Chains A and B, each alone.
Chain A
Amino acid sequence: MDVLLQQIVNGLVVGSVYALVALGYTMVYGILQLINFAHGEVVMIGALSAVFSSKWMLAMGMGPILALLLATLLSMLICATVGVLIERLAYRPLRNAPRLAPLITAIAMSILLQQIGILVFGRNYFTFPELISKTPLTFGHVTTTPNEIMIFVVSVLLMGGLLWLVHNTKMGAAMRAVAENQKIAGLMGVDINKIIAITFAIGSALGAIAGVMVASNYGQAHYYMGFMLGLKAFTAAVMGGIGNLWGAMVGGLLLGLVENVGLIFVRGDYKDIFAFVVLVVVLIFRPQGLVGERVAERA
């Protein structure tokens, strides 16, 4: 029982990071119906730039909390720029192309960003400074750290903020309109290109925060870290129902939980299989994902 509780806590922490990354996938998918394979690499760039900037800030004598905040902000800025650039250069020209063309471009972009990651930062595993304490705290039989609590709380706040943004602001309404029907939204006076660019910026900035969280949680960052993380987050988004914000959150948390709770029953080597087995099972019974709407079979 104690083990189960502990694994649930671990699962929620990992799951909230998956959810943040999954939001980036799902927002882009909702609007462009494109699997943005490069999103995992955006997360990686966020994590690595935070590693370097926070180390530099610490060396300049800043306090750890301030350094974390500034480094995260800087990462968000960098990633938002990268995200918008990717969209402008690689995806926008292909908006009316055959469906698989942007997908292949996205995959190539992912490889390209990895190489840029190597060129800019290098191939090493970089340690992330301990900016928030990782001293274990014990509540009853469950152990956690301030760092983990921070990750979970910030993720939940960010998700709430995004939901508010999408459902309660004029910009959010425009985003929903573009997702619903690009052409009509354009006729109604929505600046489609601007809204799509904003979507990429927000998704990438969230990815940057997720990258900082992953790096601080595992204490390291690496040019290849975006690959598996992105794959799992995307799996989570699909499991929840791609294109749906709630789906990404539910899927992310569920995936984190399943992975960690499953560790009680199955050897760790098979951890990475869980994600996919659960995905297949979920989709067999609910082909539209857990939260996704039943899309009418269109001709």
Chain B
Amino acid sequence: MSGIFQDRRKSMIALGALAVVLVLLPFVVGAFGQAWVRILNFTLIYVMLALGLNVVVGVAGLLDLGYVAFYAVGAYTWSLLASTQFDLHYPFWILLPLGAFLAAVAGLLLGAPVLKLRGDYLAIVTLGFGEIVRILMNNFDKVSLPWSDTVYNITNGPRGITGIDGMSFFGFKVRAGTELFGLQISGLQIYYFVFLFFAILSVIGVWRLQHSRLGRAWQALREDEIAAKAMGINVRNIKLAAFAFGALTGGVAGGLFAAMQGFVSPESFGLLESVMVLAMVVLGGMGHIPGVILGAVLLSALPEVIRYGADENVQRSVFGFVLIAPEVLRNLIFSLAMILIMLFKPAGLWPSPERK
């Protein structure tokens, strides 16, 4: 991030201020109700997802429209192994790495057959992969083997999995919240700090990766695959690495999502979700970490703010009646905003300096 802050002293002050804001945020927001803290937490999840997808799309230039599949793998790993579904209750320090690992394996499984595909062909196959994962989750409530009649219910189908364990540290259950120095801290607020930790971890990880040998190889791949190959870059391996790393981040985010919500269903992992994460990456500024974070924050917070602003009561006080259903109005404004941003800032709101 040296490009943003020119001298070291200023950047230290800015970082310090940012840290203070980030620590105080859940308490300020919490004063307006816990629902807003949940939105804040979702924003952090989206930051992680957008950062993960940014590695695949923004840095390596591989268009992935099924990214949410990896998020789903992480979420379902957690949900199946820590819930009443099979009465398994593994702790988070097994589940998060396992979810990340399985998601990365899924990334490799997707990556291997599509290595030869380019551009939009790749996009549509990844889209198909995402849909396949979602449909499987929808139908794995009645799995039977060809040689027997026993029907197994694995994912509970479209009804989703309920009764998922939250995170707990040494017997302390995060969801219950706590009291610290007389200050009431809710479970959601603790989750905020856990998510913040992982989000910062992703930022550092992605940043370090982007500026490593592998990251430069990815950028070479993005700019020109044939030239990259000619320079001795093993295109196959680095493509797989991009898919695996992106998927890994998604898997962690998925596990955190399941832990906070206590409920997952295939509905949360549709194509629209993948598209939203992609929009965050592109709208913010592909391949540029601060831009991607901005995109994620904007696109996850904007609909909620509009929902609040376009509330039925607000409309009633302005027009005297409900002109447009709030949900429709929200999507209307949201999609219009996306179109306008792209029309006026085709490279994203905060593009990386070399792409301007």
3 shortest A-B CB distances, which residue pairs? A276-B128, A97-B346, A108-B338
For A87-99 the 0/1 string (1 means CB < 8 A from B) is 0001001100111
- For the complex, give the distance between the alpha carbons of A206 and B271 in Å: 26
| Nearest-CB residue, chain A, relative to B278 | A104
- For the complex, give the distance between the alpha carbons of A152 and B119 in Å: 33
Of A4-12, A44-52, A277-285, the segment with at least 4 beta carbons within 8 Å of chain B is A277-285
Q: Confirm or deny: B178 has a beta carbon within 8 angstroms of a beta carbon on chain A.
A: no
- For the complex, give the distance between the alpha carbons of A94 and B123 in Å: 20
Contact flag A100-B116 (CB < 8 Å), given A109-B335, A269-B139: no
Contact flag A280-B338 (CB < 8 Å), given A107-B275, A112-B332, A115-B328: no
Q: Confirm or deny: A70 has a beta carbon within 8 angstroms of a beta carbon on chain B.
A: no
Nearest-Cβ distance from residue A78 to partner chain B, whole angstroms: 20
8 Å CB interface, A254-275 against B: 269-270, 272-273, 275
Nearest-Cβ distance from residue B107 to partner chain A, whole angstroms: 15
Q: Confirm or deny: B124 has a beta carbon within 8 angstroms of a beta carbon on chain A.
A: yes
A102 CB contacts on chain B under 8 angstroms? 342
Q: Tell whether, in the assembled complex, residue B332 and residue A280 are in contact, meaning their CB atoms are under 8 Å apart.
A: no
Q: Tell whether, in the assembled complex, residue A272 and residue B328 are in contact, meaning their CB atoms are under 8 Å apart.
A: no
Contact flag A105-B227 (CB < 8 Å), given A100-B63, A114-B331, A283-B121: no
A270-B139, A279-B125 given; name 18 further pairs at CB < 8 Å.
A97-B347, A98-B355, A100-B282, A101-B282, A105-B342, A105-B343, A108-B336, A111-B335, A115-B332, A119-B324, A276-B128, A277-B128, A283-B117, A287-B116, A287-B117, A287-B121, A288-B121, A299-B227
Q: Which of B136, B138, B335 has the largest number of chain A CB atoms within 10 A?
A: B335
Q: Confirm or deny: A216 has a beta carbon within 8 angstroms of a beta carbon on chain B.
A: no
For B101-143 the 0/1 string (1 means CB < 8 A from A) is 0000000000001101111110111011101100110110000
- For the complex, give the distance between the alpha carbons of A97 and B271 in Å: 25
Contact flag A94-B275 (CB < 8 Å), given A114-B331, A119-B324: no
In the complex, how many residues of chain A place their beta carbon closer than 8 angstroms to a beta carbon of chain B?
47
Q: Confirm or deny: A297 has a beta carbon within 8 angstroms of a beta carbon on chain B.
A: yes
- For the complex, give the distance between the alpha carbons of A138 and B57 in Å: 53
Q: Confirm or deny: A231 has a beta carbon within 8 angstroms of a beta carbon on chain B.
A: yes
Q: Tell whether, in the assembled complex, residue B136 and residue A90 are in contact, meaning their CB atoms are under 8 Å apart.
A: no
In the complex, how many residues of chain B place their beta carbon closer than 8 angstroms to a beta carbon of chain A?
48
- For the complex, give the distance between the alpha carbons of A298 and B279 in Å: 28
Q: Confirm or deny: B27 has a beta carbon within 8 angstroms of a beta carbon on chain A.
A: no
- For the complex, give the distance between the alpha carbons of A272 and B116 in Å: 25
Q: Confirm or deny: A235 has a beta carbon within 8 angstroms of a beta carbon on chain B.
A: yes
Q: Confirm or deny: A162 has a beta carbon within 8 angstroms of a beta carbon on chain B.
A: no
| Nearest-CB residue, chain B, relative to A37 | B275
29 interchain pairs (CB within 8 A)? A35-B124, A90-B343, A98-B355, A100-B57, A101-B346, A102-B342, A103-B282, A104-B279, A104-B282, A104-B342, A105-B343, A108-B339, A109-B335, A111-B334, A112-B331, A112-B335, A115-B331, A119-B332, A234-B124, A235-B128, A238-B120, A272-B131, A276-B129, A276-B132, A280-B114, A283-B114, A283-B117, A287-B118, A298-B226
Q: Confirm or deny: B283 has a beta carbon within 8 angstroms of a beta carbon on chain A.
A: yes
B328 CB contacts on chain A under 8 angstroms? 115, 118-119
A105 touches which one: B119, B224, B338 (CB < 8 A)? B338
